[in-house]
Amino acid sequence: MLTNGLQMDTAGSWVIKTSREVRYEIVETTGLLAPENPELGRLHDGQESKGKRLVVLDHAVDRLFGEQIRTYFTANDIAVDYLTLPAGDEHKTLAQVELIARRLNEIGTYRVGTPPIGIGGGVLQDVVGMAASLYRRGIPYIRVPTTLLSQIDGGVAAKTGVNHDGFRNRLGTYAPPPRTLIDRRLIATLPERQVRSGLGEALKMALIKDPVLFEVIERYGKSLVAERLQDSSPETSVDQPGRIVTHRAIAGMAEELENNLWETELRRIVDYGHTFSPIIEMRALPELLHGEAVAMDCVFSAVLAANRGMLSDDELGRVVSATCGIGLAPSHPMFCDADLLHQALTDSVRHRNSDQHLTLMNGIGSTIFVNDLTYSEIKRAAAQMSDLLDVQPDCLTAQASDEAHVEVPRARDASDASVGNPDASGATSSASTK
């Protein structure tokens, strides 16, 4: 009943239901910085730019490609302004996001017609993406990843983020750019360590769902690093392992994300290698690169699986050997600290809404989820990781499947309450992802 035409004598209730189609493309191209290549200056909707656009570079990109980039935009008569930022996880901060937003304001960025362009590695892509997602409550942007890690992993995902309060990516948004441009030639100048780090993410994808990708990494590990995935030797120019690794890693990630882009389903096999590593990576900063920490987490998780009888000794040895074959250390002193690993799992349990949802391999290329990992299992695996400290990167050539593999000492059986679920019965909650 209306009173004075303004009030109701009963409470109201409204439900708003809507949906929004999300479509973004990942475009592979060659010679992206050549002035005759239209991709870098093209808008996602085919329209012409309405004003000046901000091009954000990291220092390494500016040093290596800055002149080419500036020549491109000048030759194509595209009005741009430039902002150069430092790379590295220690610079993945809200302050960098605010700096980008301030520059967007200064040049008069439009709501739609002048999307900024981020050209750089994963850290730069995260801060540019987050700034774009917040500016005017969200504007489009263009992503040009220039490291292997950002091309095959972050360049496929919808997430942006910054580190906060000692935690990796604790603040962030879901904001996929309409276009991501991939040019494998851009990684030809990377330091070998950056290539190895990127291959750590490719190895993760191989272990969880792609035995073919694993075999390519296992066979061509050293060549992939030395040639920076350019397939430049007589053998690799024919077999093209660099192209195969790039394509299969991107396709595998895209396949996993497409049906769970907003992570409403918290059981994600792509979280393999990302349960224990985030806290360790932040504690070790800047000692460990992201892909280095992820690879160690992959090995640690493989040890956990082997101790449960889910991986054979031979399979575990292949995992460690493949890790070494791409020049990555299989272990680190922090992965031998059971209390720190327990703390890392506890934080991941919070992120997964009180469940472990821990991805473990059930054979190479196959996984299950478990929710009953115990502290005793962590402690036993940490002791085995201590034994792996003496195994050096590049310890094996990893060029043929019949080579010897690293042997990981087996652990004694033990049991106790599971982490994050003290009342666990010990049953394994699983979801096959073959």
Beta bridge partners of 374: 418
**CA 370 to CA 425: how far, in whole Å?**
12
Reply yes or no: is the peptide bond before residue 286 cis, omega within 30 of 0: yes
Contacts of 320 (CB under 8 A, 6+ apart): 299, 302, 330, 388, 391, 405, 406, 408
Catalytic residue of the set 92, 159, 204, 209:
159
Burial 142-180 (b: 16+ CB within 10 A, else e): bbbbbbbbbbbbbbbbbbbbbbeeeebbeebeebbbbbb
Name the pairing type of β-strands 358-361 and 179-182. unpaired
- Indicate the helix (H) or strand (E) that contains 253: helix 241-258
Name the pairing type of β-strands 159-164 and 167-174. antiparallel
Which has the closest alpha carbon to 329: 404, 401, 394? 394
Q: What is the DSSP string of 261-312?
A: TT--S---GGGTT-SSHHHHHHHHTTSS-HHHHHHHHHHHHHHHHHHTTSS-
**CA 267 to CA 431: how far, in whole Å?**
9
Q: With left for phi above 0 and alpha for psi between -120 and 50, is residue 78 left, alpha or beta?
A: beta
Reply yes or no on whether 17 is catalytic.
no
Which has the closest alpha carbon to 203: 259, 245, 175? 245
**Mind telling me the catalytic residues?**
159
